[in-house]
Amino acid sequence: MITDDQLKQVMPNLPAAKRALYLPHLSAAMTAYAIDTALRCAAFIAQLAHESGEFRWMEEIWGPTAAQLRYEPPSDLAAKLGNTQAGDGKRFKGRGPIQITGRFNYAKFGGLLGLDLVADPARAATPEVAFATAGLYWQRNGLNELADARDFVTITRRINGGTNGLADRQMYYERAKAVLGTEAPAARGEPLMRGHEAIRAPARKKAPAKTTKPAAKTRKSATKKAAPKKKAAAAKR
Decide if 10 contacts 176 (C-beta within 8 A).
yes
pLDDT for the residue 68: 96
Is this model's pTM higher than 0.85 or not?
no
Decide if 22 contacts 55 (C-beta within 8 A).
yes
d(CA 169, CA 84): 32
Tens of pLDDT, residues 216-236: 444 444 444 444 444 444 444
Residue 8 clears pLDDT 70, i.e. is over it: yes
**How wide is the angle at C-alpha 206 spanned by C-alphas 200 and 210, nearest 5°?**
170
pLDDT tier for residue 190 given thresholds of 50, 70 and 90:
very low
Q: Kindly report the length of the chain.
A: 237
Sorted by where each begins, the domain ranges of the chain are: 4-57+126-180
Indicate the SS3 state at residue 94: coil
Residue 26 is inside which H or E element, if any? helix 16-32
pLDDT tier for residue 1 given thresholds of 50, 70 and 90:
confident
